[in-house]
Amino acid sequence: MELRTLRYFVAVAEELHFGRAAARLHMSQPPLSRAIKQLETEVGATLFDRSSAGVTLTQVGTVLLDEARALLAQADRVRTRVAAAAGAATITVGILGDTTDPGATRLADAYHRRHPRVEVRVRETDLTDPTCGLHAGVVDVALTRGPFDETGLTVRELRADPVGALLRADDPLARRDSLKLADLTDRRWFLFPEGTDPHWQSYWSGGEPREGPVVRAVQECRQAVLWNGTVGMTLLDHEPGEGLTVVPLIDMPLSRLVVAWNESDTNPLIRSFVQTAIAAYHA
């Protein structure tokens, strides 16, 4: 059995759909189907039950899935250890500015324990690039927040957090227990520079065109509110700083914390990072 064929099998087993698995593997469906048929010939048993209702694993397929995952994980570990021994094992992680999430600390600790000889390079970006350099090709994987243009990327949600309106502490609205976006209609908001991802800009502007000062970093957002009385949004559990407060926005979608990477990248260090991130944020 070739490792490549086992990766094909795992993709089909996880998607339970040949079309989706082919898209995930960046290949057409016919060669994928042929590879699975060849694998079934090698194994001497049917791995999938195919019907008009869909695709399901057979008992043999279920056993092979466990073994294939273990074998592929071992192969990844071998590649990583050999690369580390050769001094070539590095991964560049993009992180959105002002990240103080304890989950990130758990992730860093767990990843270091798993890959003590891998050099992790961190690139912190400001709020104008939610992909943290992924689209520009300057990072391997990003720990960031959506929404943004996901073209060519694979994105996995780690957590979803409530947001609130960031206000001066003496703002009349600061006395409210909660707010709706309509309560902020006539207020000036802080905005991101022209050219910022439109999905990202729209979310943090409450889905409406706004007017107000342009900011790039978290501290600039806070200073825009403190000095100008503008409003904007922030995570509900973020410490706003002296003179500021956060009031829950009850009609805003949650902010998605995600890990993202280029969908064509097969670097085992990236797969390990994603797996470790999912475990760290669900601990």
Query: What is the predicted pLDDT for the residue at 181?
Result: 95
Residues of the chain with CATH 1.10.10.10: 3-84
Burial of residue 257 (CB within 10 Å: 0-12, 13-18, 19+) is buried
Res 63: pLDDT: 92
CATH class of the region 163-253: alpha beta
Q: Where in the chain is the domain with CATH 3.40.190.10?
A: 89-156+259-281, 163-253
In this prediction, residue 272 carries a pLDDT of 87
Contact by Cβ (8 Å): 177, 250: no
The topology (CATH level 3) of 3-84 is Arc Repressor Mutant, subunit A (1.10.10)
Check residue 32 and give its pLDDT.
92
pLDDT score for 72: 83
Strand (E) positions, 30-152? Answer: 48-51, 54-57, 90-96, 119-125, 141-145
- CA angle, residues 18, 256, 134, in degrees to nearest 5: 70
Which regions in the chain score pLDDT beneath 70? Answer: 80-81, 83-88, 98-100, 283
CATH T-level assignment (fold) for domain 89-156+259-281? D-Maltodextrin-Binding Protein; domain 2 (3.40.190)
pLDDT recorded at residue 89: 77
Residue 220, token pair as written in the block: 């600039």
Taking residue 230's Cβ as centre, other Cβ atoms within 10 Å add up to 23
What percent helix, strand, coil does the chain show, rounded to 5?
Answer: 40, 25, 35
